[in-house]
Structure 1
Amino acid sequence: MIGKLDLYRVFHIVSRNKSFSKAAKELYMTQSAISQAILKLERELEIQLFYRTPKGVVLTNEGKLLNEHVTSALGMINAAEDKILDFKMLKNGELRIGVGDTISRYFLLPYLGDFHAKYPGIKLKILNGTTSEVLTFIKSGAADVGLCNLPIQDEGLQVIPCKKIHDIFVCGEKYKELTKESIRLEQLMELPLIFLEKETISRRFVEQFLKKKGYHFSPVFELGSHDLLIDFARINLGVSCVIKEFAEESLKKGDLFELSLEEAIPSRNIGIVYLKSVPLSRAAEQFVGSIEQNLEV
């Protein structure tokens, strides 16, 4: 079948033009080459496809039947080629992104808006989850790329840091006096602390920092979202560990106040993550590139 495809294309053009000479001009071939191609197809199918007349060629009954199917098949092939071209030109396709609520709200949205405006034909699918869940999405093939809190140590993943972030402690009006001077970690441990849940990258990062300094803590609240950390601190339920870059609005408004630690927590990053072993789709490649153009780290 594959070997006959070019012959079928010649047959289709001859059938449409009802002439070897006209088909030769359309295909930029010699009339002899067209004639030889039709003879070869007739020999392989063991049927006569055309009646040769002084005015041109006319399809036999067998030729008419074949032409119906060939026209349909070539139409489907052409349609498939057009769709492939659309995918290459990003007129069609799908981009699947794994991301958590906080990074989605405070980092991803502007990039999504720009990408959708530029490539409206690409369907965007957002898979929401914690960093560990996002990594599962990527490894299972459910997501093309993920945006996660770093650090992530996994040899099978390509990790691209793209925004530096800082873990800080904030409070509401009740604890504002603590912000007048730097406080020691020992003093911090005596405060009612509010953290994210244990399995989050953000919680583990700060926890490991404090553990290296010899401190262990037991939060009064363990919450499931960064926005709740801000809300709980704002209404004076304790001192929350938040990401400074994602709490800037409340800090600027004066709803929250940053505590200055004598030993600051090291900065870290959020980044793009995808499988090393699987090539990115054209849409995913373009999306990653749009973020890499604006790297801050």
Structure 2
Amino acid sequence: MISKLDLYKIFSKVATSESFSQAAKELYMTQPAVSQAIMQLEKDLNTRLFNRTPKGASLTNEGSLLFEYVNSAMNLLRTGEEKILEFQNLTAGELKIGVGDTISRYFLLPYLEAFHNKYPNIKFTIVNGTTLELCSILKSGEVDISICNLPIDDSSLEVRPCFEIQDTFVYGERFAEILVQPISLQELVKFPLIFLETKSNSRKYVEDYMISKGIKIAPEFELGSHDLLLQFAKINLGIACVTKEFSQEYLSKGLLYEVQLLEGIPRRSIGVCNIKSVSLSPAATKFVELLEHKQK
């Protein structure tokens, strides 16, 4: 008798290929066997999963909902199989990392270089996204670890802070004479502000802190990248909220100036995240060890 796991494997293959016959070819099964398996699964779940047409098969609404979970489960299973097959001495394997563009550029690159020099046969796959997106793909099994802006409140994830950062505000020549003296956050919000978009964890952290002080913000510009924040501030479109450690090139060259706040924003961290219930691969373990060692 075919197992429930096999039924879901067949379901996943039909869903991705949108064809019973194509799924049968890829699974080395007969088309009637594939059809029978889908009928059995639909019977077990008491719902229709596919719309059958002469041109193929498409998921019903219920089928689409189920596929999200089945696809995540299959990804986790494949990840588990890959980890078992990896050589313990790291002479082969793959390391899949989720990370944002800014952290990748200003923080991660030296670690990638050091790891590659030590383990040249390990293949890197880098997936970009916001912290929210990275947590989601991490839990779906698409990456081994994610390097995110903290804080993250998710009990299913293990989070290791690895690098402290400071949120600050910067400005260009237009505001140089006005901002020569330290100012309060209450005074700062009277200026045109430039922030990251609302789905950014960095934006949320700063905004939540300011709200806790009774200060609401209404940015003139909401942008999708840290580099754009620096560029917009440089051409005097407003005062940008940035990460100080990732803005040193502009500050050291005098292209931008840092606002002197009477009360600074509390420091936070960048951290490495992984699923608590899933063991790290040998490659991921060594990479995390490298990050932690470099920070000591």
With structure 1 as the length reference, what TM-score do the two structures score?
0.70
The aligned counterpart of 2:174 is 174
Runs of 4+ in 1 over 3 A off after TM superposition: none
The alignment status of 1:206 with 2:193, answered yes or no, reads no
Q: Give, in whole Å, the separation in 1 of the partners of 2:286 and 2:179.
A: 44
The alignment status of 1:119 with 2:134, answered yes or no, reads no
Q: Summarize the Cα distance change of 1:281–1:86 in structure 2 as closer, same or farther, 3 Å threshold.
A: closer
What percentage of residue pairs aligned between the two structures are identical? Answer: 54
Q: Give the drift of 1:295.
A: 2.2
The aligned counterpart of 2:279 is 279
Q: Summarize the Cα distance change of 1:107–1:187 in structure 2 as closer, same or farther, 3 Å threshold.
A: same
Q: Give, in whole Å, the separation in 1 of the partners of 2:233 and 2:153.
A: 32
Q: Give, in whole Å, the separation in 1 of the partners of 2:217 and 2:142.
A: 37
Bigger Rg over Cα: 1
Q: Secondary structure at the match of 1:237?
A: coil
Question: 1:53-64 to 2 correspondence within 5 Å?
Answer: none
Q: Summarize the Cα distance change of 1:87–1:219 in structure 2 as closer, same or farther, 3 Å threshold.
A: same
Counterpart code for 1:277: S
The alignment status of 1:191 with 2:191, answered yes or no, reads yes
Contact 1:250–1:256 at 8 Å: present in 2 too?
Answer: yes
Q: Give, in whole Å, the separation in 2 of the partners of 1:200 and 1:86.
A: 35
Q: Summarize the Cα distance change of 1:86–1:101 in structure 2 as closer, same or farther, 3 Å threshold.
A: closer
The aligned counterpart of 1:104 is 104
Contact 1:179–1:258 at 8 Å: present in 2 too?
Answer: no
The aligned counterpart of 1:165 is 165
Q: Give the drift of 1:85.
A: 8.8
Counterpart code for 1:92: A
Q: Give unmatched runs, 5+ long, in structure 1.
A: 1-83
Q: Give, in whole Å, the separation in 2 of the partners of 1:295 and 1:190.
A: 38
Cα deviation 1:44-76 (Å, max 9, x = unaligned): xxxxxxxxxxxxxxxxxxxxxxxxxxxxxxxxx
With structure 2 as the length reference, what TM-score do the two structures score?
0.70
Count residues in correspondence. Answer: 214
Q: Give the drift of 1:181.
A: 1.2
Counterpart code for 2:111: Y
The aligned counterpart of 1:46 is none
Counterpart code for 1:227: D
Question: 1:62-77 to 2 correspondence within 5 Å?
Answer: none
Q: Give, in whole Å, the separation in 1 of the partners of 2:234 and 2:141.
A: 40
Q: Secondary structure at the match of 2:148?
A: strand
Q: Give, in whole Å, the separation in 2 of the partners of 1:225 and 1:261.
A: 24
Q: Give the drift of 1:134.
A: 0.6
Q: Secondary structure at the match of 2:294?
A: coil
Q: Give the drift of 1:178.
A: 3.6
Q: Give the drift of 1:272.
A: 0.4
Question: 1:12-161 to 2 correspondence within 5 Å?
Answer: 87-161=87-161
Q: Summarize the Cα distance change of 1:205–1:143 in structure 2 as closer, same or farther, 3 Å threshold.
A: same
Q: Secondary structure at the match of 1:293?
A: helix
Contact 1:162–1:291 at 8 Å: present in 2 too?
Answer: yes
Question: 1:188-267 to 2 correspondence within 5 Å?
Answer: 188-267=188-267
Q: Give unmatched runs, 5+ long, in structure 2.
A: 1-83
Q: Give the drift of 1:101.
A: 0.1
Contact 1:178–1:259 at 8 Å: present in 2 too?
Answer: no
Q: Secondary structure at the match of 1:88?
A: coil
Q: Give, in whole Å, the separation in 2 of the partners of 1:100 and 1:185.
A: 28
Q: Give the drift of 1:86.
A: 6.8
Q: Give, in whole Å, the separation in 2 of the partners of 1:207 and 1:176.
A: 24
Q: Summarize the Cα distance change of 1:178–1:265 in structure 2 as closer, same or farther, 3 Å threshold.
A: farther
Q: Give, in whole Å, the separation in 1 of the partners of 2:271 and 2:116.
A: 20
The answer to which of 84-93 and 272-281 deviates more is 84-93
Q: Secondary structure at the match of 1:236?
A: coil
The aligned counterpart of 2:59 is none
Q: Give, in whole Å, the separation in 2 of the partners of 1:143 and 1:86.
A: 15
The aligned counterpart of 1:13 is none
The CA RMSD over aligned residues, in Å, is 1.5
Q: Give, in whole Å, the separation in 1 of the partners of 2:166 and 2:177.
A: 22
